[in-house]
């Protein structure tokens, strides 16, 4: 199952871990030291939750609510989970969410291309590129902390409560509306057995 979650083009998953004691701030991208070693920075004792994006084709709707099949876009439904109560309310979920969304913002074209490679119809890659990647989340009506978190990064409620007691929030300004994370840096992830061949 882990392999499918890593390889499937219809989902994107990041494991949220505690911050490193020795950060990567002083390292320049491209330095051999600018990497996270598997099992060290992300060891089981450091894992606190995950952030997911489930992808699917959706269509814009006309004034009557009918899908316009010539106007597809890639819909990404976000999900954040911080497992233990001791790690909640400390800003770790917000940091994980913003880092994840920064990655999505920077790699939106690649995410669309990888998804469309496994899909037929829906206007293909060009149709999805034109419609873009749009982000949403469904949150239980009683989960005011989660709702507040998503609203704080630009999500707004669309429509009313659904049958399951959830409300849908969308990033109205699209992927480009994601707040930029200052100092965000993408580093390499290496396995110990691959270190010699870096």
Would you call 86 helix, strand, or coil by DSSP? helix
Which residues fall within 8 angstroms of residue 135, CB to CB, at 6 or more apart?
Answer: 53, 76, 77, 78, 101, 104, 155, 170, 171, 174, 175, 178
For the segment 86-121, what is each residue's pLDDT rounded down to a tens digit? 888 888 888 889 989 999 988 988 998 888 876 655
- Domain 2-197 classification at class level: alpha beta
Give the pLDDT score at 30: 43
Cα gap 198→184, rounded to integer Å: 23
Give the pLDDT score at 135: 92
Which residues fall within 8 angstroms of residue 120, CB to CB, at 6 or more apart?
Answer: none
Q: What's the whole-model pTM score?
A: 0.80
Give the pLDDT score at 1: 39
Domain boundaries, given as residue ranges, for the chain: 2-197
For the segment 169-188, what is each residue's pLDDT rounded down to a tens digit? 998 877 777 777 777 777 77
Cα gap 149→152, rounded to integer Å: 5
Which residues fall within 8 angstroms of residue 77, CB to CB, at 6 or more apart?
Answer: 53, 54, 56, 135, 136, 137, 138
C-alpha to C-alpha distances, 145 to 7, 15, 91, nearest whole angstrom: 32, 21, 12
Give the pLDDT score at 27: 47
CB-based burial label for 126 (10 Å; 0-12, 13-18, 19+): exposed
């Amino acid at each position: 199952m882990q392999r499918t979650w890593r390889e499937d083009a219809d989902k994107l998953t990041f494991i949220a871990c505690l911050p490193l004691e020795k950060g990567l701030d002083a390292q320049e991208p491209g330095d051999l030291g600018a990497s996270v070693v598997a099992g060290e920075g992300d060891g089981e004792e450091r894992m606190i939750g995950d952030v997911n994006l489930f992808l699917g084709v959706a269509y814009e709707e006309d004034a009557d609510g009918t899908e316009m099949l010539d106007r597809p876009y890639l819909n990404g439904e976000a999900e954040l989970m911080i497992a233990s109560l001791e790690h909640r309310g400390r800003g770790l979920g917000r940091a994980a969410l913003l880092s994840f969304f920064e990655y999505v913002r920077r790699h939106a074209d690649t995410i669309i291309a990888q998804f469309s490679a496994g899909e037929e119809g829906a206007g293909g890659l060009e149709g999805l590129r034109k419609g873009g990647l749009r982000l949403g989340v469904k949150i239980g009506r009683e989960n005011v902390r989660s709702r507040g978190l998503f609203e704080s990064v630009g999500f707004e409620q669309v429509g009313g409560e659904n049958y399951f007691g959830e409300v849908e929030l969308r990033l109205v300004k699209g992927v480009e509306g994601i707040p930029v994370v200052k100092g965000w840096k993408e580093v390499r992830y290496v396995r110990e057995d691959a270190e010699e061949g870096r």
